Amino acid sequence: MNRGQRLREALTGGRGARWHPTDALVRGLAVGVGLVVFGGLFHRVELVLFGAPLLLSTLVALVAPVGGRPVVDVRGLPRTGEVGAARSVVDVDPGTGAEVVAIRLPGDGRDVGPVHLLPGGVRAVEVVLRRDAWGEGVDLRPDHLVAGPDGLVVHGPVTAAERGRVLLPPVEHLPAGLLPARARGLVGAHRAARPGDSVELRDIRAFQPGDRLRRIDWRVSLRTGNLHVREHHAEADADVVLALDTRFDVERDLGEWSVSRDATTTRPGGSLDLAVRAAASLAAGYLRQGDRVGLVDLGRPQLGARPGTGRRQLLRLRNQLVVCARSAGWAQRPVLRPEQVPHGALVVVLSPFLDAEVAELAAHAARRGNLVLAVDVLPEGLRPDRDTPWGAAALRVLELEHEVRLEAMRRHGVAVVTWDARAAAISGALRVAARPGRRR
Amino acid sequence: MSGPGTRPEPLATGLPGWVLRAAIGVVGLVVAAILHAEGVSLVPLVLYLGLVGVAAGIPASAAVALLVAYPAVALVVVGGEPVRPAVLALVALGHLLHVLSAYAALLPVRSRIHPKALRPAALRFLAVQAGVLALAALVVLLPGGRTDEVVELIGVACAVGLVAGAVALMGRRS
């Protein structure tokens, strides 16, 4: 056994990773022999009758052959998955002479589950893993104990290694829209300002040398007496930068804002949860139509993802969103460096907008020439802190400041939408923005 | 070790883990009722019920040993026929307490018990009790009388040898 194996054994083996007698065996032996001996000495048949079954069952446990090294292993557990149910198999090798196996298996869908007492003959158990919250989490920790007859000789308990999955943030179906019209590349889903080969009419102008004959608009040419040609828009793809504000994770109840949550990656229904879900949905929507989508963590700039296209990029972004949420925490200022935003890209700022810095950042991005969409993820229906008499007043001040920040961004040309749990508001805003008259 | 070809069994819900502890409590109450019917006074019975509570709460405690030995001593103190229905019932219930406590001590309260796992233990319990009944029948059928001192000494020596063998086996296991 090398050092690594010894270390692993020390970490995961636990104190009872060997066959050893239990207190019940000592009890059966001591009480059984004691009653039989005293019954014999004092000529009391009752005592012998009381001691006999204890002695017999103890002797059976001692004579029965138990041994080997029980092994419990997990099969078919992917590293990443989607929210909901998944299946996995726990393989069991209980060793020789095992009568029962106690294994910790997920049964009720919460944490690592209770200990299940199973027959010793079981070799593989199919378990259903269910988690409704995205993020990193432990799905299985098959702690186990193997027992011989009557549980008088046991191997374990052994604390097993935790097996977890990264559940990717869910994706809501969103309509595409609100994209900047600009030329980059030769193909794409969005209208560019320059002339090209799409079917959308850009202009009708006088014929120039070099124009193709098939572009001549004969009706206009006959009416005006000069040759005119129809000019069309070019089609291009676009860059989208999702700027995630991970500095705040607040929920509906203001009294809980300063209370840390250790068990979960984010607060369920909180601002960071909403922001990550919104980012995943927006990324999926834009990537579906062939755009390049990147990610910037405003609190931890080193955690971003460069723009890319395709389904692999969507997986990368969803994984990176989990990484960003895991590392979320307070940072003094949000950071969005110009080199993180490609020229002409759409910048989607996802934040609860609880400080002026992030609003200024959005305004600066708009001033640099980017189209900026501010997605407000502050949960709706905030509740005041009931532990303080100033709770309602503090909430009112916070709401007013928040509204001022949103209004200031609107005045700087930033489109502001609110993200709710079902993404209805942003769907409506994107549909409106996607109308031809609203396109730039 | 089972390979990927092993067909996995679906995980059933099973019974809650506190069932074993509740069973210890119920069996302890039945034992107390039989002792009361046999004429054991109230104060020792209250003490016994306290032991039942401790054993049900902490099955790995030494209270179980007292719980198993107490009825035997109480019946010796009360006296009466050595083989009678109450004695046989208490012998079976004492053994049941021992087995239930042994399994309950392995499991946390919030566990799940799949009854199929306890089938071999139940069969062994019945077999051992059949043996005890046979022994009781032998005691009833054999003629009574004073045993020779030499035979008694041999019996004690056999019991000591049994203990020594059991300890040796235990030492080999651990």
Residue B43 distance to chain A (closest CA, Å): 22
Is the minimum CB–CB distance between B122 and chain A shorter than 8 Å?
no
- Percentage of residues of chain A with pLDDT beyond 90: 38
pLDDT of amino acid A323: 93
Instruction: Provide mean pLDDT across the span A365-387.
Output: 89
Q: Enumerate the residues of chain B whose CB falls inside 8 A of the CB of residue A107.
A: 11, 13-14, 112
pLDDT of amino acid B139: 82
Which residues, 6+ apart, have CB-to-CB distance to B33 below 8 Å?
Answer: none
pLDDT of amino acid B68: 95
What residue type is assigned to position A393 of the chain?
Answer: A
Residue A47 distance to chain B (closest CA, Å): 6
Beta-strand ranges (E) seen in A65-214 are 71-75, 80-81, 84-93, 100-104, 115-119, 124-131, 135-140, 144-147, 153-158, 163-167, 190-206
Residue A399 structure tokens: 């709401």
Is the minimum CB–CB distance between B1 and chain A shorter than 8 Å?
yes
A376 by DSSP, 3-state: which?
strand
Q: How far is CA A389 from CA A380, A385, A386, in A?
A: 22, 8, 7
Contact A21 B170 (CB under 8 A): yes
Confidence band of A395 (pLDDT split at 50, 70, 90): very high
* Under 8 Å between Cβ of A236 and A439: no
Confidence band of A192 (pLDDT split at 50, 70, 90): low
Residue B37 distance to chain A (closest CA, Å): 17
Q: Give the DSSP H or E segment for A151.
A: none
Is the minimum CB–CB distance between B97 and chain A shorter than 8 Å?
no
Q: Locate tokens 């203001």: which residue?
A: A254
Q: Give the DSSP H or E segment for A307.
A: strand A305-308
Contact A91 B6 (CB under 8 A): yes
pLDDT of amino acid A181: 42
Q: Are strands A80-81 and A84-93 parallel, antiparallel or unpaired?
A: unpaired
Confidence band of A111 (pLDDT split at 50, 70, 90): confident
Q: Quote the CA–CA distance of A264 and A132 in Å, as a whole number.
A: 11
- Count CA atoms closer than 13 A to A9's CA, side-chain side: 10
Q: Quote the CA–CA distance of A178 and A376 in Å, as a whole number.
A: 16
Contact A45 B124 (CB under 8 A): no
Confidence band of B2 (pLDDT split at 50, 70, 90): low
* Closest-CA residue to A326 (of A436, A166, A174): A166
pLDDT of amino acid A439: 39
Q: Which of B14, B135, B166 sits opposite A58 (nearest CB)?
A: B166
Nearest CA in chain B to A17: B174
Q: Quote the CA–CA distance of B42 and B8 in Å, as a whole number.
A: 54
Q: Which of A31, A45, A107 sits opposite B83 (nearest CB)?
A: A45
Farthest-apart Cα atoms in chain B, separation? 66
Q: Which domains does chain A have, with CATH numbers?
A: 15-63 (no CATH), 71-166 (2.60.40), 197-236 (no CATH), 239-438 (3.40.50)
Residue A62 distance to chain B (closest CA, Å): 6
Q: Enumerate the residues of chain B whose CB falls inside 8 A of the CB of residue A23.
A: 60, 62, 105
Q: Which of A25, A56, A124 sits opposite B8 (nearest CB)?
A: A124
* Closest-CA residue to A255 (of A352, A387, A401, A377): A387
pLDDT of amino acid A185: 44
Is the minimum CB–CB distance between A394 and chain B shorter than 8 Å?
no
Contact A91 B90 (CB under 8 A): no
Q: How many cross-chain Cβ pairs, A to B, lie less than 8 Å apart?
A: 226
pLDDT of amino acid B123: 95
Q: Quote the CA–CA distance of B107 and A22 in Å, as a whole number.
A: 13
- What pLDDT, in 10s, does the model give residues B92-143? 999 999 999 999 999 999 999 999 999 999 999 999 999 999 989 988 887 7
Q: Which of B13, B82, B121 sits opposite A150 (nearest CB)?
A: B121
* Under 8 Å between Cβ of B63 and B32: no
Is the minimum CB–CB distance between A126 and chain B shorter than 8 Å?
yes
Contact B68 A45 (CB under 8 A): no
Higher local confidence (pLDDT), A168 or B146: A168
pLDDT of amino acid A236: 61
Is the minimum CB–CB distance between B9 and chain A shorter than 8 Å?
yes
- What pLDDT, in 10s, does the model give residues B54-71? 999 999 999 999 999 999
Contact B11 A57 (CB under 8 A): no
Is the minimum CB–CB distance between B81 and chain A shorter than 8 Å?
no
Confidence band of A421 (pLDDT split at 50, 70, 90): low
pLDDT of amino acid A423: 60
Contact B11 A115 (CB under 8 A): no
CB neighbour class for A59 (10 Å; exposed up to 12, middle 13-18, buried from 19):
middle
- What pLDDT, in 10s, does the model give residues A206-219? 888 888 888 889 99
Is the minimum CB–CB distance between A68 and chain B shorter than 8 Å?
no
Confidence band of B167 (pLDDT split at 50, 70, 90): confident
Instruction: Provide mean pLDDT across the span B84-98.
Output: 95
pLDDT of amino acid A77: 84
Residue B120 distance to chain A (closest CA, Å): 8
pLDDT of amino acid A431: 59
Lowest mean pLDDT among A208-212, A262-266, A363-367: A262-266
Q: Is the pLDDT of residue A1 over 80?
A: no
Q: Locate tokens 């834009």: which residue?
A: A286
Instruction: Provide mean pLDDT across the span A223-240.
Output: 81
Q: Is the pLDDT of residue B3 over 60?
A: no
pLDDT of amino acid B8: 85
Q: Enumerate the residues of chain A whose CB falls inside 8 A of the CB of residue B75.
A: 46
Q: Which of A31, A89, A114 sits opposite B8 (nearest CB)?
A: A89
Is the minimum CB–CB distance between A334 and chain B shorter than 8 Å?
no
Confidence band of B174 (pLDDT split at 50, 70, 90): low
Is the minimum CB–CB distance between A23 and chain B shorter than 8 Å?
yes
- What pLDDT, in 10s, does the model give residues A67-87? 888 999 998 788 888 888 888
Residue A39 structure tokens: 């019954």
Instruction: Find the Cα–Cα–Cα–Cα dihedral A362, A364, A365, A367, rounded to 10°.
Output: 130
Sign of CA dihedral A303, A307, A310, A314: positive
Is the minimum CB–CB distance between B13 and chain A shorter than 8 Å?
yes
Q: Enumerate the residues of chain B whose CB falls inside 8 A of the CB of residue A15.
A: none
Instruction: Provide mean pLDDT across the span A423-437.
Output: 58
Is the minimum CB–CB distance between A85 and chain B shorter than 8 Å?
no
Is the minimum CB–CB distance between B113 and chain A shorter than 8 Å?
yes
Q: Is the pLDDT of residue A12 over 70?
A: no
pLDDT of amino acid A316: 95
What residue type is assigned to position B130 of the chain?
Answer: A
Give the start-to-end residue ranges of the domains of chain B.
15-142
Q: Is the pLDDT of residue A51 over 90?
A: yes
Confidence band of A231 (pLDDT split at 50, 70, 90): confident
Nearest CA in chain B to A93: B1
Is the minimum CB–CB distance between B126 and chain A shorter than 8 Å?
no
Q: Alpha helices, DSSP H only, in A175-309?
A: 218-224, 271-288
Is the minimum CB–CB distance between B156 and chain A shorter than 8 Å?
yes
